[in-house]
A and B are shown apart, each in its own frame.
Chain A
Amino acid sequence: MMHLSEEDLILLYYGEPGVPANARAHLAECPDCATQARSLAATLDECKNWPATEPAAGFEARLWRGVAARLPEKESRRPRLRLFAFAAALASLIVAAFLVGRVTMHTAPPITAGLSSQARERVLRISLADHLDRAEILLTNLSNGIAPDRGRAADLVSEGRLLRSALMTSGDTGTLALVDDVERFLLEAANEPEHPADAEMTTLRRRIEDDSLIFKIRIIKSNLRTRGQQS
């Protein structure tokens, strides 16, 4: 048998499949390969001594504060829907303000008085990121096989369309394309029967995965928030 390659020795070290059938027997008989294996094992064993980094003081409290601030409100269904309706209404108002601001930018904007165009752009980005947050939760549930809340999906479609209008004015084509993609899935979720068939859910889930939709949402959301903070 030929000598073992470094790749074979790495696979052997980790107990991974894919090593030649007689690799272990060869290793027991071949001093050269045994030396190589010892050298590799010594290096990899030393890597186990890599000290873990300790977080800065107060980490656990800081972590919990960050997590708790982003946990959904623990409320009954009805108040949650009211909260959602409020969020949608607020988004509508912001978008309307944005559009009016755009149209009347050179006159005297009555609704956006006091808001610079930069501030309006920032508000739009934050509203979009919040909309994508809510869409991501619904789509993540869908891709985990949880039947969609059709009312919530329908609300998100309406909210997305308002934001879409503002986006068309702002010229952010990348985000616009994503909002369009998300809307297609939300529409399907809104129109699902109350108890969708497993096959339908599987197809929808597969399409969400194939489109890397949730990943794209996270990227755009992160960009929107970064740009929102910078502007």
Chain B
Amino acid sequence: MDRGDDAAIEDARRGDRDAFRALVERHGRSVFQLACRMTGNTIDAEDIAQETFLKAWREMRRFDGRASFGTWLHRICANCSLDHLRARNRRNISSATAEPGAPDPMEQIAASSPSPERLAASAQVAAILGPAMGRLSDMERAAFVMRHYEGMGIEEIARALGVQSGAAKHTVFRAVQKLRRALEPAVRAAR
């Protein structure tokens, strides 16, 4: 746990609003950014950040310190974002889909240090990535963000999405396949 968070968490648990305010100000931005990645909308992301901290206030006693406070907040934020996406889908009737020892060969595939040309090409890929993420369904985008940026495992994603792990896995597969199709030409050019 972040040393700076410890005291504030203890005080916030006892109902100290100033301590909780310090936590809101310290973690608000990263919570907003996660909500923004999940929903693709800055206005929704501000609402979700607010919901996240309200829920965190109500559940402070349940925070046991096994994960960092930031990680715990991100889990709450991911769930609030999903609630928001489900509500948005219902309102819009959108088109969301259901759904040791030897060196690791995947690690050997790691990229070498980037050259200036490659950095420029990476910026181009980043410019394509935003719209490509926008073309994913809400559930694909949420599942991909949870897996790729938040490091959540398939089982945890399945619980958050309220689906079987097989469905969660296929949602991640679809997201990766769509992103790969959109990005691969630019990535190839960048390498």
Contact = CB atoms under 8 A, between A and B. Distances in A.
Interface string B150-165: 0001100000000000
A68 B53 CA distance: 10
Interface residues of A, number: 55
B33 A49 contact: no
Nearest to A62: B46
Nearest to A140: B58
Given A18-B169, A24-B102, A70-B54, A49 B147 contact: no
Interface of B: 15, 17, 20-21, 24-25, 28-29, 32-33, 36-37, 42, 45-46, 49-50, 53-54, 57-59, 62, 83, 86-87, 90-91, 102, 104-106, 109-111, 122, 125-126, 129-130, 133, 147-149, 153-154, 169, 172-173, 176-177, 179-180, 183-184, 187-188, 190-191
Contacts of A59: 28-29, 32, 46
Contacts of A46: 122, 125-126, 129, 183, 187, 190
Given A16-B153, A42-B111, A46-B125, A63 B46 contact: yes
Given A10-B172, A60-B28, A74 B36 contact: no
Contact of B87 (A47, A70, A141, A218): A218
A66 B45 CA distance: 13
Interface of B is mostly: helix
Contact of B183 (A47, A54, A55, A66): A47
Contacts of B125: 46, 49
A39 B184 contact: yes
Interface in A182-231: 215, 218-219, 222-223, 226
